[in-house]
Amino acid sequence: MRKIKPFFIGFLVTLSGLWLLSDQSLFNPPYQFLPMRNVLMNYTGIIAMGVMSISMLLAVRPARFEPFFGGLDKMYRLHKWLGITGLVFSIVHWAIKESPGWLSGLGLIALPNRPKGPHAGSQQATGSSIEQFFQSLKHPAESVGEWAFYIAVVLLALALIKKFPYRYFFQTHRLMPLVYLALVFHSTFTMNFSYYSQVVGPVMAVLMMSGTVAAIIVLFRKVGVQRKVVGVIEGIERYTESSVVRVNIKIKDRWAGHEAGQFAFVNFDDKEAAHPFTISSGWKGDGHLFFLIKELGDYTKTLASQLKAGQAVTLEGPYGQFTFKSDKPRQTWVAGGIGITPFIARMHALAAEPSQQKVDLFFCVPHVDEPGFAKARADAQAAGIHLHIMAEPLDGRLDANRLCTMVPDWQDGDVWFCGPAGFGDSLSEALIKKGLRPEDFHRELFEMR
């Protein structure tokens, strides 16, 4: 969050500044309604297409940008913010476009009379041959843009409705690259032509060209293709007490390896979209790994009965920066429920290659699960870390005060959290008030829509 928020704000401010440098209309009174309406239409269109272009670039999961943004989970959060911003500015853009008719209908303004006759509504092309070409396509671009706007509003609204099933969200969201390409056509030929000779025009051209390439990659389903490997399910085990399914996989292709705490997109070849799951095992170089998957939604609740040994599986990854890299003398880990998975992987790695760091792990669960607790104790003992099991019916809820009391030297290290968002928010806020630096609270943002 600490990296994506400055980028988000900085991008909006920078693009707004470039637009101001390219359009001096705001500084040239007197201000009249229709000219100012055109100025604001240009501005809202610039911002809407700018953020949509960056959002489209992030949709191809560019792993090389993970260190900069703090992981793919943060990049998807930025993707969401940009999408919402694009939706808001698109709605404002459309409202500004329609405002003369609305205000005229209410009797608040008087519009100039439109020319009549066989050439009514046409505009004589002027300027260079390139400008004339742009003017000739302006009307078709306006029509395409209007329909693309209506479709985009529906698709983005569906993406924000959490109760809309993931499988349908994935299918409908695949239409967004087509909508984006239509909006690129709209923006290219309706943007103020003078902008192309100013600083904002070339910047928008680069953004839209980059977004177009990304949209084509998504349309042809080439996202992450170089990071995909094929494997086979070796076995499935269901832990009834915790409603968790363990899926053991043997990778057939060459897997570059992963660090403890990273995740992969998993497709079980069952006509479902690939889902992101944390890799629950460390990497030993033998092609074997496993996932612990909580039965939370309609899809994950069926895995135990649907998956079979020998079934093909496709993995894409690894992704993520939740990799426990720190030069501090101690770490404090907090796992909420199924958020234990990256810590299991790290404990396996520590069992193979011990570290000098002191580690305390708080395993917080809503109910008692003795078989799960036994596995956690065995992993913690092998890794040489101090485990605190916090079962809510017996131990209550963990908060910052209890954590600081149970780990007196907590300020000598950093905190790594994986669990429910609300739990993480409250814990982070309280620890920062007690003196923890924001950059020393590490967490995954696993809500990717």
- Domain spans of the chain, in order of start: 4-110+126-219, 225-319, 330-443
Q: How large a percentage of the chain has pLDDT more than 90?
A: 77
For the cut 90, the answer to whether the pLDDT of residue 175 exceeds it is yes
The partner residues of 389 in beta bridges, in order of sequence, read 363
Task: Read off the tokens for 325.
Answer: 């890299």
Q: For residue range 83-132, what is the model confidence (pLDDT) as tens digits?
A: 999 999 999 999 999 999 898 888 888 777 766 554 444 455 567 889 99
Write phi, then psi, for 199 (nearest 5 degrees). Answer: -70, -35
We find that the CATH architecture of domain 330-443 is: 3-Layer(aba) Sandwich (3.40)
Measured CA to CA, the distance from residue 56 to residue 77 in angstroms comes to 13
User: What is the average pLDDT value for the chain, to the nearest integer?
Assistant: 92
Length of the chain measured in residues: 449
For the cut 80, the answer to whether the pLDDT of residue 329 exceeds it is yes
Residue range 32-52: mean pLDDT, rounded = 94
Residue range 12-37: mean pLDDT, rounded = 88
| CATH class of the structural domain 225-319 | mainly beta
Residue range 392-398: mean pLDDT, rounded = 92
Query: What's the predicted TM-score (pTM) here?
Result: 0.91
Q: Where are the alpha helices (DSSP H) in 23-71?
A: 33-58, 66-69
Task: Read off the tokens for 32.
Answer: 């009249």
Q: Three-state DSSP class for 236?
A: strand
Q: Give, for 437, the enclosing helix (H) or strand (E).
A: none
In the numeric block, the tokens 């969200």 are attached to 169
Q: For residue range 340-359, what is the model confidence (pLDDT) as tens digits?
A: 999 999 999 999 999 999 99
Q: In terms of pLDDT, which residue wins out, 400 or 369?
A: 400
The confidence score (pLDDT) of residue 116 equals 56
The confidence score (pLDDT) of residue 121 equals 47
CA distances from 22 to 47, 185, 194 (A): 14, 21, 8
Residue 247's nearest CA partner among 316, 305, 297 is 305
Query: Where in 118-271 does DSSP place strands (E)?
Result: 228-239, 244-251, 263-267
State which fold the 4-110+126-219 domain adopts. Four Helix Bundle (Hemerythrin (Met), subunit A) (1.20.120)
Q: Three-state DSSP class for 362?
A: strand
The confidence score (pLDDT) of residue 115 equals 60
Task: Read off the tokens for 95.
Answer: 């409202």
Task: Read off the tokens for 134.
Answer: 């742009």
Residue 384's nearest CA partner among 441, 336, 346 is 346
* Shared fold status for 4-110+126-219 and 330-443: no
Q: For residue range 229-239, what is the model confidence (pLDDT) as tens digits?
A: 999 999 999 99
Q: Phi-psi region for residue 117, left (φ > 0), alpha (ψ -120 to 50) or beta? A: left
Taking CB atoms within 8 Å and a gap of at least 24, the contacts of 210-214 are 210/53, 210/57, 211/52, 211/53, 211/54, 211/56, 211/57, 211/180, 211/184, 212/180, 212/181, 212/184, 214/56, 214/57, 214/59, 214/60, 214/177
| Banded pLDDT at 74 (limits 50, 70, 90) | very high
The confidence score (pLDDT) of residue 114 equals 66
Q: For residue range 231-272, what is the model confidence (pLDDT) as tens digits?
A: 999 999 999 888 999 999 999 988 889 999 999 999 997 677
Q: For residue range 277-286, what is the model confidence (pLDDT) as tens digits?
A: 999 998 988 9
User: How many CA atoms, within 13 angstroms, populate the side-chain half-sphere of residue 78?
Assistant: 31
DSSP 254-292: ------TT-EEEEE-SSSSPPEEEEB-S---SSSEEEEE
Measured CA to CA, the distance from residue 440 to residue 413 in angstroms comes to 8
Q: What DSSP character marks residue 389?
A: E
Task: Read off the tokens for 275.
Answer: 């889902």
For the cut 70, the answer to whether the pLDDT of residue 449 exceeds it is no
Residues 6+ apart with CB under 8 A from 264: 258, 276, 277, 279, 315, 316, 317, 318, 319
The confidence score (pLDDT) of residue 253 equals 85
